[in-house]
Amino acid sequence: MFNMPTIDMVKTGQNIIELRKQKGLSVKDLQEVFGFTTPQAIYKWQQGSALPTIDNLVVLAAIFEMSVDDILVIDNDIQMSKTA
């Protein structure tokens, strides 16, 4: 058995909300940075119904001045059996 790391989408979304607020940014501000025509993608990230793509995570990391690992919330509790 080994622990299979998975991304907790809801907690990651909550983390994005907190980090955005700490930087004093609105959803509209992020929408403009990413060049999105609507804010739906950002709301989906924040609600935990979708994750940012890798390139968008890199941009968020730059905006928040941290690593991608600090944005994502990883759950290591899922047990998987090894097959050899």
- The H-assigned helical ranges of 6-80 are 9-22, 27-34, 40-47, 54-64, 68-71
Q: Check pLDDT > 90 for residue 56.
A: yes
**DSSP secondary structure code for residue 24 in this structure:** T
Domain 2-76 classified CATH 3.10.50.30? no
Q: How do residues 9-39 score in pLDDT, each as one tens digit?
A: 999 999 999 999 999 999 999 999 999 999 9
The C-alpha atoms of residue 59 and residue 43 are separated, in whole angstroms, by 16
Instruction: Give Cβ neighbours of residue 69 (< 8 Å, ≥ 6 apart).
Output: none
Domain ranges of the chain: 2-76
pTM, entire model:
0.86
Using alpha carbons only, how large is the chain's radius of gyration in Å? 15
